[in-house]
A and B are shown apart, each in its own frame.
Chain A
Amino acid sequence: MSNSSTDLLVRCDRVARTYGSGPSAVVAVHDATCQVHPGDRIALMGPSGSGKTTLLHLIAGLDDPTVGSISWPALGDRHSLRPGPLAIVFQSPSLLPPLDVVENVALPMLLLGTDRKTATNAAHEALARLDLDDLSSKLPEELSGGQAQRVAIARVLAGRPRLILADEPTGQLDHATGIRVIDVLIEAADELGAALIINTHDPLVANRLPQRWDMANGRLTILGGAKIC
C-alpha cells in the first residue's frame, strides 16, 4: 500500500463534532485525526455512546464537523461520495420497502445516472456473487434480518466503491448470522480492493480485521496496524 497523498482516501484533521450548545452541549467526537488508505481493514471499537457512529458519519460525509476538517483526496468532494466511491452499510434495515431486492441493489447506480439495463445486470451479478439471486424478486419485508443485511452488502458491491463503511452491521443479528455477514463484507471488500471500516463493539468481529481504532468519550486512539501520517 502506498502512502502517497493521491492514494489517500480520507484525511481527518483534528475533527470534532458537538451537538447542541451552551451547558447542554454534547461533544460526540473530540479532536480526532486519522487517515484511511486503499486496502485498509479497520475495526472501529468502543462502548455505546463513545462517538463511533458519529465519526463514521463524518467520514461518510453524512455529517459536518464543528471543528477541524475532513477531505477525501482520492475520492473527490463531499457531494460526489455517495453514490459512488463510498458506500455505507447501516445497522438498521436500510432497504427501501417499496422496492424489491434487485431494485434496491440497483438503486445507487440508477441514482448515479447509469441506465436501467446496466444497473439491473450489475445488481443481478452482485446478488449472484453473494448467492442471493434466489431472493432477487423478494420485497424487504419478506426477508430475514440476515438476508436483508446481505442484500445491503450486495448493494455496496454492485456500486463498486473504494471505501466501505459499516455501522454495526451485525448489531441486530444473532451470532451465527453476524459472522456470515462479516465474512461476506470482508469478501466483498477484498474482491473490490476497497478499504473497509467496520464500527463494532464485538471483539470477535474486531479480531477479523488487522487494524483497530478505539473510541472512548469521543476521543480516537489509533492502535495496531494503523497508518499514521
Chain B
Amino acid sequence: MLTLTWLRGLLARRAGRLSITAIGVALAVGLLATLGSFLSASKAQMTDRALKSVSVDWQVETQPGADPQAVLTSLESTPGIKAAVPVGYGDTKSFETTTGATVQTTGAGVIVGYAGDYRSVFPNQIRDLAGATTGVLLFQQTAANLHAAPGDQVTVTMAGLPPVTIKIDGVIDLPEIDAMFQKVGAPPQSQRSAPPDNVILVPLDQWHRLFDPLAINHPELVSTQVHVDLVTSLPHDPAAAYSKIVGDAHNLELKLTGQVLVGNNLGAKLAKARSDSLYAQILFLFLGTPGAVLAGMLTVTVAASGADRRRREQALLRTRGANSRQLLSLGLSEAIAVGVAGSILGLGLALLVGRAAFGTAGFGATNAAAVTWAAFAVGAGLTIAAFAIAVPAWRDARDISVVAARQTIGRRREPRWQRLWIDVILICASLLVFWLTGRNGYKLVLAVEGVTTISVNYWAFLAPALMWLGVGMFTSRIASFVLRRGRRPLAWLIKPMSAGLSDTVAASMSRQRRLIARGVTLVALTAGFAVSTSVFNSTYQQQAEVDAVLSNGADVTVIESPGASIPPNVITELSAIQGVRKVSPLMHRFAYVGNDLQDIYGVNPTTIVSDAKLQDSYFQGGSATSLMTKLAHRPDAALFSFETVKDFQLAPGDTVTLRLQSGTTKQYVQVPFTYTGVVKKFPSAPSDSFVIGNADYIAKMTGIDHVGTYLIATAHGDSTAVAGRVQTAVGTNALVNDVASKRRKIGSSLTSVEMAGLTKVELGFALTLAAAAAGLVLWLGLNERRRTFATAAALGAKRRQLGGFVWSEAIYVTVGGLVTGAAGGWVLTNILVKILTGVFDPPPTTLAVPWAYLALVAAVTVAAVVIAASSAIRSTRRPAVQLLRDI
C-alpha cells in the first residue's frame, strides 16, 4: 500500500525526472534490442547469401572401382537431393590451333563433359561470352591463349591416343572455376594453387567418346563426378546450417562408403559465413556494448542528480518511522517502475528502428532468438535502473554517512583510483594486451582444422575494453587536475566570460571539480564513442568499396571479348557517355613465367594509382605510389606476386624473362623484365599469380599496343546505369561489369551484411548520446545548483555575472569533453581497426574520417550545451526570492 502511494506521488510530482531516467533506460534497451535485430537479421542474411552464391552444392566424386551409374542412381534417391547431374573430367596433354601461318599450343588442359540438363540445373556455373551456348565451349582464358573464336578448330592431344580435332561452338567464362576443379576431399592447404588455364567443355556423350578409350590405359587421367543441387531448408544461423550440411555430406560418404568423396561447396561457403557471423557478433560487442554502457552511465548520472531529494525524503520517512527495509522497498519499486517503463519504450523504439533500418520488426530471425534478445535487452534495462536508483537508495538507507561521501564540493582527497593510478594501469594493460593480440596476427575468430565449431578469441576484447575504461578515467583525472592545479590559467582563459569574477569563478569550478569532471568525462566518452563508431564504420564502408573495386577493377570495367577488337578511339566514345567521368586503359595479356601462364597487366604508372584507386595494402615492400614511381623510372621494371618471387627465388634487380605473344607473328617471344617489387592484389587481377609491368614497354616488346580492358570512373556513383549505357555502346565486343553488381555478388562476406542499417542506428545513437550527455548532464549539474545561483542573485549578481559562472563551466565541459573524446576516440579506433583486421578485406591503409558527421556531432553537442546553459541562465530571471522559496 505504502509502495503504491509512494509511486503515485512520484508519478504526480517527479514525473519529469522519472521520465528522463526511463528514457535513459529506453535508449540502452533500444540499442541492445536493435543490435540484436541486426545480428539476427545479418546471420539469416549470411546463410541466405551463402545458399544463393553456390552454383553446385556438392561435387560428389566417384572413387576408383565404384560404378558411376550406381552412384548416380543412389544419389538421385537420397532424400534432400533435388537434382544430381553426371560430369566427366579428362586431362589432356595440350590444345593447339592454327591461325594463318602461326600455330598456338597450350600446356596441359582439361576437358569437361556436361550432361544436357546441366546448364538448366546449374545456371550460374557457365557464363556465355560468344557464339553458341551449347556444344563445344571454350574457356575464355584458353580462347585468348589460342587466339580461338567460335567456329575455329582445336586439336586435342591426349596421352597415348591420336590427336582429335574438335570445332569450337562458343566461348564461355567459368565463374566458379576454383570449385569446379577442386581436389575433392583434399584439405584447403592441399588444393591446387590455381585452376587450370586450359579448359574445354563438351557434351557428355562426346566426352565419353574421347575419354572412355583413355580410361582403359590411363584411369588416373579420367574421373567422374556427380554435381548435386540440394533441397536447402537450413537453419538461419550459419553455424547451425554449416553443421547440418557437413553432417549430411558425412552421412552420404558413410552410406556410400569407399565409393564417393564429397566436395562440399555449400559447406565451404557456410564455413566462411559462420566465421563472418561471428565477426558480426564481435562487431555487436565492440560497437554496441560501449553505447549501452554509456546510456547506462547517463541514466545513473540523471538519477544521481536526484539523490539529494531522495535523501531528504528518506530522512522524512525515517522520522515518521520507516525502517531500512521499507526504504529499500520504496527505492526498488521506483527502480522497477522506471526499468519496466524504459524497457517497454526501448523495445518499441527497437521495433521501429529495426523496421526502418533492417526491414525487420523482430528481435531475431527465429522466435527463440527474438525472445532471447528481448529478454536480454530488458534485463540490461532493469539492471541499469537498479544501479541508478535502487543501489544508491539501498546504500543511503544502510549508512547515513554516505551522505557526506556523496558531496560534490569540498577538499576531500582525490578518489582512491586516482591515488592508485588505476587509469594509467588500465591503459598500460590495454596496450600490453593489444601487443599480445598483435603477435597472434589479431586473429579473433579461431577455426581449428577438423573441428566443425569455431570460437572467438574474447581475450582480444580486453584491449579496447581496458582502453575505454582507462581513457574515461584518465579524462576524469585530467579534467580534475586542471581544475585543481590550473586555477590561474583557467581564470585567465575564462576572463572573456566572467570578467572581474574570473578568479572567483575559477575557484568555484575548482571546488566543484568532481561534478564538472564527471560532465567532462561523460561528454568525452560519448564523443569518443561517436568518433570511434563513425570512423570505424566509414573505414569499413571504404574498404568494402575498395574490395568491390578490387574485384571489378573500377566503377565500371570494359573487358574486350575474345576474338573481338575494340577500335582505338573507344576511349573518346566511352568518355562521351553520360555519367562517365574518366576512362583509363589497362593492358591485359597472358605471359608464361617459366611454365606457368599468368595474367600480365600493362599500366601507365603515372596515372594508375588514382585511376584504379590502388591501396598500399595491395603491395609489399613499398607503398602503391613508391612502387609505381619505380616502374615509371625503369621501363622494364615489373612487380610479381609473392608466390612467384618465392618459387623462383627472385631478388630485387633480377632479370626475369617472360614469354608473351607477339602481336605480329602470334608466336611467344621472350621479353626480359627486372624484378622490382611484390604485388599482392590488383584491380580485376586473379587472386593467385600475376605480373604488373609498363604498358608502353609491353606494347613495344610485343609489337602491339592492344589494350583489352578499360577502367571507367563514374561521375555520380550509379555504376549499374552507366554500365548499361556502356554495354549498349560497345555491343557484343566487350563484357561490361559494374562495381555495384560485383558488390552484390561478393557473397557471404561481411560486406554483404546490412552494415548500412547498423551504421545508421549506431551513428544516430551516438549523436543522441552526445547531445544528451552534454546538454542533460550540464543542465542537471546547473539545476542542482539553482539554490547557489538564486542566492547569488539575491546578493545582487546580475544575469551577466551569473552567466559567467554558467558559460565558463559549459565551455570547460564541452571543449574538454570534445577534445579529450576526439583524442580517446582516435586511439580506440586505431585499436579497433587493428583488432578487427579480419572484417576488413583488404586491410585499410588509412582510416576514413567522416568529417561531416563529426562536425554534426560537435554542432549538436554545442547546441545542446547552449540550450542547457541558456535555460539555466533564463531560470535566474525569476525573482530570487521565488526561486529560493521553490527550491
Interface residues of A (CB under 8 A from B): 57, 62-64, 81-84, 88, 90, 92, 94-100, 103, 106-108, 110-113, 115-116, 139, 141, 155
Contact = CB atoms under 8 A, between A and B. Distances in A.
Contacts of A64: 879
B301 to A, nearest CB: 19
A111 B796 CA distance: 7
Contact of B409 (A57, A83, A110, A139): A139
A97 B409 CA distance: 7
Interface in B784-840: 788, 791-792, 794-798, 801
A94 B503 contact: no
A106 B795 CA distance: 11
Contact of A90 (B500, B794, B798, B801): B794
A111 to B, nearest CB: 5
A190 to B, nearest CB: 23
Nearest to B802: A111
Nearest to A88: B794
B507 A82 contact: no
Contacts of B788: 96-98
Contacts of B884: 90, 92
Contact of A103 (B409, B500, B507, B797): B507
A139 B504 contact: no
Given A63-B881, A97-B788, A111 B798 contact: yes
B880 interface: yes
Given A90-B794, A97-B409, 15 more contacts: A57-B881, A62-B794, A62-B881, A64-B879, A82-B794, A90-B791, A92-B884, A94-B791, A96-B508, A98-B409, A100-B511, A110-B500, A110-B501, A110-B504, A113-B500
19 contacts: A57-B881, A63-B879, A81-B796, A82-B795, A82-B796, A83-B796, A96-B788, A98-B507, A98-B508, A98-B788, A108-B796, A110-B500, A110-B504, A111-B795, A113-B500, A139-B410, A139-B411, A139-B511, A141-B410
A103 B504 contact: yes
Interface string B489-522: 0000000000011011001110110000000000
A90 B410 CA distance: 23
Interface string B844-887: 00000000000000000000000000000000000111101000
A116 B503 contact: yes
B768 to A, nearest CB: 31
Most chain B CB neighbours (cut-off 10 Å) among A82, A97, A103, A112: A97
A108 B791 CA distance: 11
B794 A107 contact: no
Which range holds the interface residue count of chain B? 20 to 34
A215 to B, nearest CB: 17
Contacts of A81: 796
Given A62-B879, A90-B794, A111-B801, A99 B411 contact: no
A57 B500 CA distance: 28
A96 B511 CA distance: 11
A125 B818 CA distance: 44
The 4 A-B pairs of least Cβ separation, nearest first, read A82-B796, A83-B796, A98-B508, A98-B511
A100 B795 contact: no
A18 to B, nearest CB: 14
Given A82-B794, A111-B798, A99 B511 contact: yes
B407 interface: yes
B507 A111 contact: no
Nearest to B503: A116
A108 B507 contact: no
A115 B501 CA distance: 9
A90 B794 CA distance: 10
A15 to B, nearest CB: 15
Contact of A62 (B410, B411, B880): B880
Contacts of A110: 500-501, 504
Contacts of A111: 501, 792, 795-798, 801
Contacts of B792: 96, 107, 111
Contacts of A94: 791, 794-795
Contacts of B503: 116
A76 B794 CA distance: 17
Contact of B795 (A83, A103, A116): A83
A63 B879 CA distance: 7
Contacts of A155: 795
B883 to A, nearest CB: 10
Contacts of A112: 796
B409 to A, nearest CB: 5
Interface string B139-156: 000000000000000000
Contacts of A98: 409, 507-509, 511-512, 788
B413 to A, nearest CB: 15
A151 to B, nearest CB: 13
A57 B884 CA distance: 12
B795 A108 contact: yes
Nearest to B509: A98
Nearest to B513: A98
Interface in B116-138: none
Contacts of B880: 62
Interface string B387-410: 000000000000000000001011
Which of B512, B796, B881 has the most CB atoms of chain A within a 10 A radius of its CB?
B796
Nearest to A62: B881
A41 to B, nearest CB: 23
Contacts of A83: 795-796
Contacts of B801: 111
A116 B500 contact: yes
A194 to B, nearest CB: 16
Contacts of A82: 794-796
B384 to A, nearest CB: 30
A100 B507 contact: yes
Contacts of A97: 409, 511, 788
A180 B507 CA distance: 31
Contacts of A106: 504
Contact of B500 (A84, A100, A115): A115
Contacts of B504: 99, 103, 106-107, 110
Interface in B408-446: 409-411
Nearest to B508: A98
Interface string B509-541: 101100000000000000000000000000000
Nearest to A53: B881
Contacts of A57: 881
A81 B880 CA distance: 14
A84 B503 CA distance: 21
Contacts of A88: 794-795
A64 B882 CA distance: 11
A116 B500 CA distance: 8
Contacts of B798: 111
B154 to A, nearest CB: 92
A110 B509 CA distance: 17
Contacts of A92: 884
Nearest to B789: A96
B795 A99 contact: no
Contacts of B879: 62-64
Contacts of A63: 879, 881-882
A193 to B, nearest CB: 21
Contacts of A62: 794, 879-881
Contacts of B411: 139
Contacts of B882: 63
A82 B796 CA distance: 4
A108 B512 CA distance: 21
A41 B795 CA distance: 22
A155 B794 CA distance: 13
A218 to B, nearest CB: 16
In this complex, the member of A96, A107, A116, A139 whose beta carbon has the largest number of chain B beta carbons within 10 angstroms is A96
A103 B794 CA distance: 16
Contacts of B881: 57, 62-63
A113 B882 CA distance: 26
B783 to A, nearest CB: 15
